[in-house]
Chains A and B, each alone.
Chain A
């Protein structure tokens, strides 16, 4: 042992004995506890890979003795949250929709839950911001114009049963017949009259001719003044909102070959609590209407 110890004369430090072209390496030993710390991490690593999922195999990784999985942890977390919200969910299912907004805690819970439901199930058509997609005829849910009604009760019904679907016998249903049998000048006159209802630019003479055609063919659903009828889902033709466009060509196309949207029934897929939650969320997007007899909650002054 002693014969191979070499001391570097300049620094007084022992060398490792390695020499490259006369250049020798000084031996500055690492503390031994550092080595033990390294061994400890190795032992830790071995124990960890035994207890937790670690080694990739042909069909999936080893599961580990503790049976831990991140998916299982998420599932447990969801179960825990749902358990802690069980009371609120129970109240949401039974509460009278007209007074939901008065229960601040329950209403906040419903709106927050509804936000997630909307993002998962509704945003595909109505958009993440609920602004609708006009080109495809998906209605904007932010405005104050509702085809089938904007109270909590009406929105909940629409979500529960959907529109014009074939799976739910209670789905809202309405149909506009095509008026392609009209003569071209009759169609022209009707379109001008419809545009005159909401003060869009129109030919007054043609509109005058269209008034009678409208009264004969359209007013039974859309009303004499064009205000529509929510009972049967007939759109208001006298306001500024046009789901299928307000240009001459748009209205003409809708008259000759009406397009009508479909919405699925959600009651089976979401369940009552989530139907109510998403309805509360949609109701709070700016267009929600108070139940009949009360002042609109969102109107200031």
Chain B
């Protein structure tokens, strides 16, 4: 008899989330429409910057190395703005995670948003949970093929629109759209669309929760950022257990005693559950509020049972809260059996010990104490400090910009009349949409002469929206102090002839030792 090892690889368990209504579902719809709206609409917003500059409000112009964001234009040497924004995004995630748990995963993550969209299409074409389970189990038939084909076709359209929208951030959208249709766009545009279409189709349609569980590193990092004071989606075990089906009459009586679930504060009503009358099973045992209807499991897009406690898979999308609240309303028990809760805020009681708990003076902490904690305040301050620094940097950013690099091979050149000449490579940046003249001059330095390679005079014409490198010579006559001194400080000034804006760059002058 051979012993067979258990399988080390498991097939994906299909998940058929049920449709649900409620506050959090509505919130998720709103966020879905808002975020997808931003994604699809942004590249098409026009923004007039004048001639020679693109009129697209948000444009990542990789070829010309420019990032346009409405009135802000970022050049490569100002990449610290992007770095600052990334740090702010990171700190923002820390802040939200430490106060609200995996709220990013549950509401705003593209994987969640697109999966949600794909599930909505699925529900619309194949029906709700039970219909989909039946279809899944049904043998292949014309109807099944038609439904599957229709679903995949709509998914593919969404996926193509997703990949298609992405490329518009990197080129003039109307031009690119026309070129794409005429098959004249760059191959990289089609390749990008193809890759993003494939990943969207695969991740949103088939991978879904597998991406969150097995592929995404962020949920694992988040474990380091939540603590018992973090608000998260959880099941009030002390209130729900022991679960079971109870008598209908008892439930109706409870509803009359408590009143509408909406009217009563979630915590307070739950604490007064003795006065509302405990549910009883048919055999007369006292029961908790959970009627074991499995509504929370049926709606879960991750396919877990929240009543088993905090789980790695849970993205805190809060759909189980909506599902359970709906059921609590129907059986006349207060809402909040599944709720946003902090683990250290739950009463220290075991299931069925509600009487003892009611005697104590325990009350949950108010919401603000969960939100305003030292670590969240710290994250907020750090986030705001970087934000303020970036805004300040944006406003003090010089309109005219110059860098000076001394040529050091050789450090100086002796001319035939004995003068000492130093050379410098100066980079002048014209951030305007039209060509500008920049006049160079030297700071107060005795007897030094300035000359420009290829130019008569000291004025350089810089083309629109570009950097011009200019070789500049500074000549010290033999009698000038700088000619004999090993190093002298030197300051270049540059002036925008049309606007009068000035900037300077400091360097050194090497003399003959």
Contacts of B409 in A (CB 8 A): 127-129, 131
Segment 1-46 of B: residues with Cβ below 8 Å from A: 3-12
Interface size on A, residues (CB 8 A): 38
Q: In the complex the two chains form, what is the Cα distance from A31 to B13 in whole Å?
A: 10
Contact A4 B6 (CB under 8 A): yes
Which of B5, B214, B410 contacts A129 (CB under 8 A)? Answer: B410
- CB pair B418–A17 under 8 Å, yes or no, is no
Q: Is A286 an interface residue (CB 8 A)?
A: yes
CA A244 – CA B3 in complex, angstroms? Answer: 93
Query: What is the minimal beta-carbon distance from A239 to any residue of chain B, in angstroms?
Result: 4
Q: Is the CB of A298 within 8 A of B453?
A: yes
Interface membership of B473, Cβ < 8 A: yes
Min CB gap B206→A, angstroms:
9
Which residues from A are CB-within-8-Å of B6?
A: 4-5, 14-17, 27
Within 8 A of B (CB), among A24-47: 27, 29-35
Q: Are B413 and A142 in contact (CB under 8 A)?
A: yes
A29 to B10 alpha-carbon distance, docked (Å): 6
Q: How many residues of B contact A (CB 8 A)?
A: 38
Select B418's contact among A16, A35, A240, beta carbons within 8 Å. A240
Contact with A along B406-439 (1 / 0, CB 8 A): 0111100111111001010000000000000000
**In the complex, what residues of A have CB within 8 A of residue B471's CB?**
284, 286
Contact with A along B452-469 (1 / 0, CB 8 A): 111111100000000000
Q: For A16, what are the chain B residues with a Cβ–Cβ distance below 8 Å? A: 5-6, 8
Task: Flag if A31 contacts B9 (CB, 8 Å).
Answer: yes
Question: Given the complex of chains A and B, what is the CA–CA distance between A32 and B7 in angstroms?
Answer: 10
Do A298 and B416 touch (CB < 8 A)?
Answer: no
Tell me the complex Cα distance, A153–B217, Å.
Answer: 66
Q: A16-B5, A31-B9, A286-B473 are in contact. Are A301 and B457 (CB under 8 A)?
A: yes
| Interface contact tally, CB-CB below 8 A | 108
Q: Does A297 contact B (CB under 8 A)?
A: yes
Q: In the complex the two chains form, is A300's CB within 8 Å of B451's CB?
A: yes
Contacts of B454 in A (CB 8 A): 101, 107, 284, 297-298
A31:B12 contact, CB within 8 angstroms? yes
Interface flag for B450 (CB, 8 Å): yes
User: Is A236 within 8 A of B416, CB to CB?
Assistant: yes
Q: Is the CB of A143 within 8 A of B449?
A: no
* Residues B417 and A240 in contact, CB atoms below 8 Å apart: yes
Task: Tell me the residues in window 119-157 of chain A with beta carbons closer than 8 Å to chain B beta carbons.
Answer: 127-129, 131, 140, 142-145
Q: What CA separation (Å) do A29 and B451 show in the bound complex? A: 74
B242 nearest CB across to chain A (Å): 19
A128 to B11, CA, bound (A): 65
CA distance in complex: A286, B457 (Å): 15
Given A297-B456, A300-B452, A33 contacting B210 (CB threshold 8 A): yes
A285 to B125 CA separation, bound complex (whole angstroms)? 73
CB-defined contacts of B9 to chain A, threshold 8 Å? 29-32, 34-35
Interface string of A197-226 (1 = CB under 8 A from B): 000000000000000000000000000000
Residue of B5, B10, B407 with highest tally of chain A CB at under 10 A: B10
| Interface residue A58 (Cβ < 8 Å from any Cβ of B) | no
A241 at the interface (CB under 8 A from B): yes
Q: In chain A between 258 and 301, which residues have their CB closer than 8 angstroms to a CB of chain B?
A: 284, 286, 295, 297-301
A183 at interface, CB cutoff 8 A? no
Instruction: Report Cα–Cα, A295/B452, bound state, in Å.
Output: 14
What A residues does B455 contact at CB under 8 A? Answer: 297
- B10 and A131 contacting across the interface, CB-CB below 8 Å: no
Q: Which of A15, A236, A300 contacts B449 (CB under 8 A)?
A: A300
Please judge, given known A-B contacts A4-B6, A27-B6, whether A32 and B413 are in contact too, CB under 8 Å.
no
Q: Would you call A1 an interface residue if the criterion is a C-beta within 8 Å of the partner chain's C-beta atoms?
A: yes
| A241 CB contacts on chain B under 8 angstroms | 414-416
Residue of A nearest to B206 (CB): A33
Q: How far is the CA of A250 from the CA of B496 in the complex (A)?
A: 50
Whole-angstrom CA separation of A220 from B207 in the bound complex: 92
| Chain A residue nearest to B473 in the complex (CB) | A286
A15 and B7 CA atoms in complex are apart in Å by 10
State the CA gap A31–B212 with chains docked (Å). Answer: 13
By a CB distance below 8 angstroms, the chain B residues around A1 are 4
Instruction: Say whether, besides A4-B6, A34-B214, A127-B409, A300 and B415 are in contact (CB < 8 Å).
Output: no
Q: How far is the CA of A258 from the CA of B454 in the complex (A)?
A: 37
Q: A16-B6, A27-B8, A129-B409 are in contact. Are A240 and B416 (CB under 8 A)?
A: yes
Q: Is the CB of B4 within 8 A of A4?
A: yes
Q: Which residues from B are CB-within-8-Å of A15?
A: 6
Chain B residue with minimal CB distance to A241?
B416
CA distance A140 to B411 in the complex (A): 13
Do B449 and A286 touch (CB < 8 A)?
A: no
Cβ proximity bits A11-24 to B, threshold 8 Å, 1 near / 0 not: 00011110000000
Closest B residue to A34 using CB positions = B214
Taken together as a complex, chains A and B put the C-alpha atoms of A149 and B98 apart, in Å, by 75
A298 to B423, CA, bound (A): 13
Kindly state the separation between the CA atoms of A301 and B459 in the bound complex, as whole angstroms: 11
B450 touches A131 (CB 8 A): no
Given A27-B6, A29-B7, A29-B8, the answer on whether A143 and B414 have CB atoms closer than 8 Å is yes
Choice from B416, B423, B457 contacting A300 with Cβ under 8 Å: B457
Chain B residues, Cβ within 8 Å of A27: 6, 8
B492 to chain A, nearest CB (A): 14
CB-CB under 8 A from B7, the residues of chain A are 29
Q: CB within 8 Å of B: which residues of A?
A: 1, 4-5, 14-17, 27, 29-35, 101, 107, 127-129, 131, 140, 142-145, 236, 239-241, 284, 286, 295, 297-301
10 A-B pairs, CB-CB below 8 angstroms? A16-B8, A31-B214, A33-B12, A129-B410, A140-B413, A144-B416, A241-B414, A286-B413, A295-B456, A297-B454
18 extra interchain contacts, Cβ-Cβ under 8 A, other than A107-B454, A143-B421, A299-B451?
A4-B6, A14-B6, A17-B3, A29-B8, A30-B9, A30-B10, A31-B214, A32-B12, A33-B207, A35-B9, A127-B409, A142-B421, A240-B417, A284-B453, A286-B423, A295-B456, A297-B455, A300-B456
The 10 closest A-B pairs by CB, nearest first: A129-B409, A239-B416, A131-B410, A29-B10, A240-B418, A300-B451, A145-B416, A32-B9, A142-B413, A35-B9
* Partner-A contacts on B (CB < 8 A): 3-12, 207, 210, 214, 407-410, 413-418, 421, 423, 449-458, 471, 473, 478
